[in-house]
Amino acid sequence: MKTQPIDQFAAHLKADTRAAVYDGSKKGYDARIKTLFDHFEDPNRLRVVAGEIKQHVVENLDTYLPQVEAKLKANGVIVHWAATAEAANQAVLDIMRARNATKMVKSKTMVSEETGLGHFLEKNGVECVETDLGEFIIQIDNDHPSHLVKPIIHKNRRDIAMSFEKHGLGAYNDDPQTITRRARAHLRKKYLESDVALTGANFISAESGRLVLVTNEGNSRFCLAAAKTHIAMVGIEKILPRDRDLALLLNLLARSATGQQLTVYTEFITGPKSAAQPDGPEEMHVVFVDNGRTDVLASECREILRCIRCGACLNVCPVYRQASGHAYRSVYPGPVGAVLTPLLAGKNFPAFADLPKASSLCGACNEVCPVNIPIPDLLLRLRDRAKQEHIPSPGTPPMGPWAVLASRPMIWKTALTGGKAINYVSTKLIPVPALHTWENKHSLPEWKGGVFRKWLRNRPAKSSSS
Amino acid sequence: MATCLCDAFYDDVARATVEVLEYLGCTVEFPAGQTCCGQPAFNGGDWEASRKVVRHTVKTFAGDVPVIVPSGSCAAMMFHEALLEFEKEADLPEIEAFARRTWELVDFIVNGLGIKTWPGRYDAVVAFHRSCHLRGSKSGEAATTLMSSILGVTLVPFGEGEQCCGFGGTFSVTFPNISGAMGDLKLDHIRKANPSVLVSADMSCMMHLGGIAEKESKPIKTQHVVQVLRDALKNANLL
Amino acid sequence: MSANREAILSRVRGALAPLEKRAPLPDWDNELIAMRTLRGTVDAWPLFCERLKLVNGVSFESLAALVTWLDGQGWRHGYCDPALWASLKDAFPATFTVETTFDRTRVDDYQFGITRAAGAVAETGSLILTDKTTSSRLAALAPWVHVAVLIRGTIFADLQHAVTALADDPNIIFCTGPSKTADVEGILIEGVHGPGQQAALLVEG
């Protein structure tokens, strides 16, 4: 029997890729534990408070969005709104066209991955260069990121060396330092030739309108030192109430993502460069993007909008480690993706209904989440939704007959005794597909139906069966 | 609450639960109408079917005595998960009341009854698999507290102890390749620690890991925490 | 555009309308994010140096030591903030070529860039740069070495204090060690787009 898509993907994943994903994830997890628990008295309390702050924002977006918009405008930022991916891409293109701009450098932003901005701009004659090393490699390979913070976790140095050679970035050399130096030389030309820098935002403070961007490589800083126009594409859920909340979230973000205390470059931007500064954008635009977020807000899974895209849930997830990011078939892989992807898919929900089921519900994702998102609960809600929408779930045993059995004690007791048959006859004769799947991998323990109850009945009265 | 897995496969876990609770001076009632906690359907996404079973369970266990269950996962079903699927149901308060008097067995012994050390003797190198449903609960710590106090027990840690064994209810048959690979990995870590027995507070993990090991013809002895407690008493003629 | 704005805001209001109550904004105490190992530290400068070292940055307490280091590595062509150069130039031997305007057409000619820091964060080893104090964003980024001149009294104890005292400046950046990546097989490589060396030079206020 063919299992669900993500299981098939895992079954056919190259051993190399699995090993790369596994090692990368495990490293991230170990580093996180070390910094959080070495550094703080009560790291779990940080997560809980951060989660409460984000939940407050999510449930008060009607207040915060106009507030942050007013702040941005007062700071000299031009604010745009985009209800859909298409509108977001178009808004960016319009800004570029109005300035006869044809060259963009792009710092890693998940929301632009979501809207497919890069391909859209290329089709419209704009050169759009990814500057994060991993994203740059993804771009030249025409590949997809497979992790939120380590986009090329699925590739090894040999893969990269080959694609550099193919794209004229020097003869084959798989030394990571050489690869990095070549990208440095290539990309700094791109920064300096660019007209527009596109970034996302990790956070935006409603109190001051400060937009916070973090990168380790310094690519976002280079974008904002070289280009004359800055466009930030920002999901509507990225707001934090106060500047001091930024400190709490920044303390959690880098530790959760990579185990660093703080990301190397943490930039607070309130608008175009100051007059005396020779480098940097003379104008700044913020495009607030919905693209399905308000649907998520209206759903019973709105907690997922707390997500700060750290990737900790991917790193710890045993399913992600086995299946890799591409198995999730979307921009957001891993546990967060298993919730967000089907929700953001709108009418296309059935195509991703397998994702929430591809979880043992172990809860590790919730345990590491810096904003304490109850991911397992949300996965379960989506399973219930899929069932209510009658979306088939191959391989999941039918639960209706079981519920009848489990709510009628007489039948239950009969089944317990009758079940003994499986100790004597071949289970192949029993028409329960789940049993056969089980037996491909496991032995079944001996059936002991009714044995405990008989023991309890037949012993001298002490405790009772009532 | 004996759980469906005890009813069908792990009769001795249920028996040990009764023996241990009685040793501690409790009187155990066993409502004969009990079946299952409803979790298979809940995890399988069929909440309507699950609610039916939960309602049956709550009715069967009517009263006000504590409900003790030798399974972290069934306990979590009662005190957390059932609340989710009953959010919009009129009888939510009854489910909540039931949740408040449900205990995972080891948590009950340590934090309910205040027992911190365990008498008797149990000579074994124990690998304790902290099943996932113990996350965020006091049961995992309770289990290690009790076991490490038993004469003869050596608890051995093993790699990636925080990781899931891969069972996950219907997950194990709906995503058999991923579930199986997770199980292999877990067994690999456990075997490296070379324990004489693998102990858990959930039969489902035991069934998954034990079943894979058996199928590979490299069987591994699995025991529920309460069997260890009971056997420790027996070995010292305390029972 | 305004249609999009109204569409989004009305959808937001619609989505939130059924909520009986909204999650309150929690208050939290600074103690929550105090790093336990650093509690009670008095002198910020040694702590800053120690933390900077942890992220592979270097610190200098004397200009002479800085010049010796640059010279020893063969980094003799660079840029310096014109406002600083007057007070620094005597320490640089004639073998050095130091420019006080940064020419963006030849960014790779500069091996080092010296600019002013607006402050620092001790607990993270971060240097704080602002538009007001940084004479050129590019000069503090493109050369292999960035030297930030830091005044002793401007070091914040921790992130919390630094973030709540952010200057009124359109662009503030915390630089915590050299630019780095671990994208290729998780191996740490420094000097990706920005400096491969991040240095701090302490001066008295």
DSSP assignment of chain B, as one string?
--HHHHHHT-HHHHHHHHHHHHHTTPPPEE-TT----SHHHHHTT-HHHHHHHHHHHHHHT-SSSPEEES-HHHHHIIIIIHHHHTTT-TTHHHHHHHHHTEEEHHHIIIIIS------SEEEEEEEEE--GGGTTSSHHHHHHHHHHTSEEEEE---TTTTS--S-TTTHHHHSHHHHHHHHHHHHHHHHHT--SEEEES-HHHHHHHHHHHHHTT----EEEHHHHHHHHHHHTT--
Write the pLDDT tens digit of every residue in B149-199: 999 999 999 999 999 999 999 999 999 999 999 999 999 999 999 999 999
Percentage of residues of chain A with pLDDT beyond 70: 98
Is the minimum CB–CB distance between A24 and chain C shorter than 8 Å?
yes
Q: Is the pLDDT of residue C185 over 80?
A: yes
- Residues of C whose CB is below 8 A from A181: 191
Bridge partners, residue B29, by sequence: A464
Count of H helices and E strands in chain A?
Answer: 22, 11
CB < 8 Å from B in window 305-334 of A: 316, 318-319, 322-323
Instruction: Centre a 10 Å sphere on the Cβ of residue A419 and count the other Cβ atoms it contains.
Output: 17
C138, burial (CB in 10 Å: exposed 0-12, middle 13-18, buried 19+): buried
Write the pLDDT tens digit of every residue in A302-335: 999 999 999 999 999 999 999 999 999 999 999 9
User: With contact defined as beta carbons under 8 Å apart, do B149 and B116 qualify?
Assistant: yes
- Residues of A whose CB is below 8 A from B211: 438, 441-445
* pLDDT tier at A465, thresholds 50, 70, 90: low
Closest-CA distance of chain A to residue B109, Å = 18
Report the SS3 class of residue A411: helix
CB < 8 Å from B in window 404-423 of A: 404-407, 409, 412, 416, 419
User: What is the average pLDDT across A415-438?
Assistant: 88
User: With contact defined as beta carbons under 8 Å apart, do C59 and A87 qualify?
Assistant: no
Write the pLDDT tens digit of every residue in A341-397: 999 999 999 999 999 999 999 999 999 999 999 999 999 999 999 999 999 999 999
Closest CA to A320 of B164, B129, B184: B164
Q: Is the pLDDT of residue A437 over 70?
A: yes
What pLDDT is recorded for position A466?
A: 64
Largest CA distance in chain A: 93
Closest CA to A197 of A132, A140, A243: A132
Residue corresponding to tokens 């903030």: C81
Q: Which helix or strand (DSSP H or E) is residue A89 part of? A: helix A85-98
Residue C11 lies in a domain: no
Tell me how far apart the alpha carbons of residues C73 and A210 are, in angstroms, rounded to a whole number. Answer: 39
Write the pLDDT tens digit of every residue in B53-107: 999 999 999 999 999 999 999 999 999 999 999 999 999 999 999 999 999 999 9
Q: At the topology level of CATH, where does B115-235 sit?
A: Rossmann fold (3.40.50)
Is the minimum CB–CB distance between A437 and chain C shorter than 8 Å?
no
Is the minimum CB–CB distance between A445 and chain B shorter than 8 Å?
yes
Which residues lie below 8 Å from residue C179, measured CB to CB, with a gap of 6+?
A216, A217, A218, A264, A265, C190, C191, C192, C193, C194, C195, C196
What pLDDT is recorded for position A199?
A: 98
- Residues of A whose CB is below 8 A from C179: 216-218, 264-265
Q: Is the pLDDT of residue C40 over 80?
A: no
Question: Among all residues of chain A, which has the CA nearest to that of C196?
Answer: A217
- Residues of C whose CB is below 8 A from A230: none
Residue C44 lies in a domain: no
Write the pLDDT tens digit of every residue in C9-32: 999 999 999 999 999 999 999 889
CB < 8 Å from A in window 56-85 of C: none
Bridge partners, residue A240, by sequence: A205
User: With contact defined as beta carbons under 8 Å apart, do C156 and C48 qualify?
Assistant: no
Is the minimum CB–CB distance between B74 and chain A shorter than 8 Å?
no
Q: What is the CATH number of domain A8-294?
A: 3.40.50.10420
Q: Give me A192's structure tokens.
A: 């300096």
Task: Give the DSSP letter string of C88-134.
Answer: HGGGS-TT-EEESS--GGGGGG-SEEEEE-SEEETTTTEEEEETTT-
Q: Is the pLDDT of residue A172 over 70?
A: yes
Largest CA distance in chain C: 74
Phi, psi angles (nearest 5°) of residue B52:
-60, -45
Q: Give me B106's structure tokens.
A: 């080891």
What pLDDT is recorded for position A431?
A: 83
Bridge partners, residue A205, by sequence: A240
Touch B-C: 3+ C-beta pairs under 8 A: no
Task: Give the DSSP letter string of C23-91.
Answer: PPPPP--GGGG--GGGTT---HHHHHHHHHHHTT-EEES-HHHHHHHHHHHT--EEEE-HHHHHHHGGG
Question: Using the 8-state DSSP alphabet, how is residue C200 labeled?
Answer: E
Strand order in the sheet with B121-129: B151-155, B121-129, B197-200, B222-224
- Subunit contact A294:C12, Cβ cutoff 8 A: yes
Q: Is the pLDDT of residue C34 over 90?
A: no
Report the SS3 class of residue A162: helix
Which residues lie below 8 Å from residue C27, measured CB to CB, with a gap of 6+?
none
Q: Which of A52, A247, A263 is facing C164, going by the closest CB pair?
A: A247
What pLDDT is recorded for position A80?
A: 98
The beta strands (E) that lie in A373-440 are given as none
Tell me how far apart the alpha carbons of residues A217 and B50 are, in angstroms, rounded to a whole number. Answer: 50
What pLDDT is recorded for position A432?
A: 85
Q: Give me A193's structure tokens.
A: 């030739």
Question: Using the 8-state DSSP alphabet, how is residue A420 labeled?
Answer: G
Residue C50 lies in a domain: no
Q: Is the pLDDT of residue C58 over 80?
A: yes
Number of domains chain C contains = 1
User: With contact defined as beta carbons under 8 Å apart, do B119 and B232 qualify?
Assistant: yes
Specify the pairing of strand A265-269 against strand C171-175: antiparallel
- Subunit contact B9:A448, Cβ cutoff 8 A: yes
- Subunit contact B32:A466, Cβ cutoff 8 A: yes
Question: Among all residues of chain A, which has the CA nearest to that of B132?
Answer: A362
CB < 8 Å from A in window 102-121 of C: 102, 104-105, 107-108
- The residue of A8, A18, A427, A452 whose CB has the most chain B CBs within 10 angstroms, and thus the best one to mutate to test that interface, is A452
CB < 8 Å from B in window 209-268 of A: none
- Subunit contact A266:C173, Cβ cutoff 8 A: yes
Q: Is the pLDDT of residue A65 over 70?
A: yes
- Residues of A whose CB is below 8 A from B171: 357-361
Question: Measured in Å, how far apart are chain A's first and last C-alpha atoms?
Answer: 44
Residues in chain C: 205
Residue C22 lies in a domain: no
* pLDDT tier at A1, thresholds 50, 70, 90: low
Residue C150 lies in a domain: yes
Q: Subunits touching A (CB < 8 Å, at least 3 pairs)?
A: B, C
Is the minimum CB–CB distance between A370 and chain C shorter than 8 Å?
no
- Subunit contact C192:A247, Cβ cutoff 8 A: no
- Subunit contact A40:C163, Cβ cutoff 8 A: no
User: What is the average pLDDT across A25-39?
Assistant: 91
What pLDDT is recorded for position A459?
A: 87
Q: Subunits touching C (CB < 8 Å, at least 3 pairs)?
A: A
Tell me how far apart the alpha carbons of residues B65 and B29 are, in angstroms, rounded to a whole number. Answer: 9
Q: What is the mean pLDDT of chain B?
A: 96
B215, burial (CB in 10 Å: exposed 0-12, middle 13-18, buried 19+): middle
- Subunit contact A269:C7, Cβ cutoff 8 A: no
- Subunit contact A219:C33, Cβ cutoff 8 A: no
Q: Give me A222's structure tokens.
A: 């280079």
Tell me how far apart the alpha carbons of residues C205 and C153 are, in angstroms, rounded to a whole number. Answer: 6
Question: Among all residues of chain A, which has the CA nearest to that of C13?
Answer: A62
B157, B162, B164, B165: CA torsion to nearest 10: 0
Q: How far is CA A288 from CA A101, A233, A303, C103, in A?
A: 21, 6, 19, 35
Q: Is the pLDDT of residue A398 over 70?
A: yes
Residue C135: CATH number of its domain: 3.40.50
- Residues of B whose CB is below 8 A from A441: 176, 179-180, 183, 211-212, 215
Bridge partners, residue B30, by sequence: A465
Closest-CA distance of chain C to residue A466, Å = 43
What pLDDT is recorded for position C41?
A: 65
Specify the pairing of strand C119-121 against strand C126-130: antiparallel
Domain with CATH 3.40.50.10420 in chain A: 8-294
- Residues of A whose CB is below 8 A from C16: 59-62, 297
